[in-house]
Amino acid sequence: MKKIFLIIFNIFVANLAYANQPTDWQLGFQKAASESMREIVAFHNNLLLPIIIAISVFVLFLMLYACVRFRASANPNPSKRTHNVAVEVLWTLIPCFILIVIAVPSFKILYKQDTIPKADLTIKAIGYQWYWGYEYPDENIVFDSYMIEEKDLKANQPRLLAVDNEVVVPVNKVVKVLITANDVLHAWALPSFGVKRDAVPGRINETWFKAEKEGTYYGQCSELCGIKHAFMPITVKVVSEEEYENWLLEAREKFAKEEIINDKLKIASK
C-alpha cells in the first residue's frame, strides 16, 4: 500500500522534487538542469502527453461505443457497408496533420541541440569496456572514471552511479563534449542535461550542454556494450567558476597527460 502511495505521490512531484539522479519509483524525466532538457520536457509534457491522452481516450470511447451500440441484441441486422470515402479521407488526413504538429517543434529542438554554440571548454569522453576515460584537451588533463563498488560507497553516493573521478565543469558555461570509444559502441548520456550520444570506435561524435545549476549529475552508458554495461556510470560535477579553476590547478598535476614525445624518447634511449 505504501508503495502505491509513493507511486501516486511521485507522479505529481516527478518534475518538481527530483534533481540530478533517478529515484525510487520515479516516473517521468529527471529534473532539467539545462535549457535543452527544459525544452525536451516541455515538448513532452505540453504537446506529446495531451495528444497521447486525447487519442487513447478517443479510441477507448469508439470501442466502448461500438460494443454497446452495435451489440447483437441491439443491432440484429448489421450494416453491409464496406467503404465510406469521407471517413477514409478524414482518418488519413487528421493523423497526417497531428504528425506535422508534432514534427515542427520536434525538429526545432533537434536542430538547436545539434548546433554547438561557441564552446567555453571542451572535454573528451572515451568509452572503454567498462569505464569512461576523460580528457581535457586544452588543459593537458587525462583520467579514467570507474564506478565505486557498493562496499566502498560513502554517504549520499548513489549506488551504481557514483564514480571515483568525476568530470568537473563550471556552471553556466558551454561545454562541448567529444565522444568516442576504444573497443565497442557505448553511449554517453546525462538525462538532466538532455544529452545522449553514441560513442563509436574510430569516430568522434560531439554534443554540448550548458548546466544551469551547481550540483552532481548522474548518467549511465546507454548503449549495450557487454557484461558490465550497467557498471560504467557517468558523473558530472557542476561547480562555480572559482571552484573549477581550483580543481584545474589540482587536476593539471594529478591527471597530467604524459608527454608522448618524451615517451618515445624514453623508448628510443633504452
Q: Which residues bind Cu ion (CB under 5 A)?
A: 186, 221, 225
Region for 226 from its dihedrals, namely left if φ exceeds 0, alpha if ψ lies in -120 to 50, beta otherwise: left
- Considering only CA atoms, which of 60, 120, 160, 119 is closest in space to residue 241? 120
- Closer residue to Cu ion, CB minimum distance, 162 or 225: 225
- Closer residue to Cu ion, CB minimum distance, 170 or 219: 219
- Closer residue to Cu ion, CB minimum distance, 40 or 126: 126
Cβ atoms within 10 Å of 16's Cβ, excluding its own: 8
**Smallest distance, Cu ion to C-beta of residue 164, A:** 17
- Closer residue to Cu ion, CB minimum distance, 211 or 225: 225
Cβ atoms within 10 Å of 215's Cβ, excluding its own: 15
Give the C-alpha separation, 63 to 230, whole Å.
Answer: 42
- Closer residue to Cu ion, CB minimum distance, 195 or 221: 221
**Smallest distance, Cu ion to C-beta of residue 139, A:** 25
Instruction: Give the distance, in angstroms, between the CA of residue 251 and the centroid of all CA atoms in the same chain.
Output: 27
**Smallest distance, Cu ion to C-beta of residue 179, A:** 11
- Closer residue to Cu ion, CB minimum distance, 190 or 225: 225
**Smallest distance, Cu ion to C-beta of residue 227, A:** 11
Q: Which residue has the cell 508503495?
A: 3
The b/e string for 113-151 (b: 16+ C-beta within 10 A; e otherwise) is beeeeebebbbbbbbbbbbbbbbbeebebbbebebbeee
3-state helix, strand, coil in the chain (%, to 5): 40, 25, 35
Beta pairing class for 175-181 and 167-170: unpaired
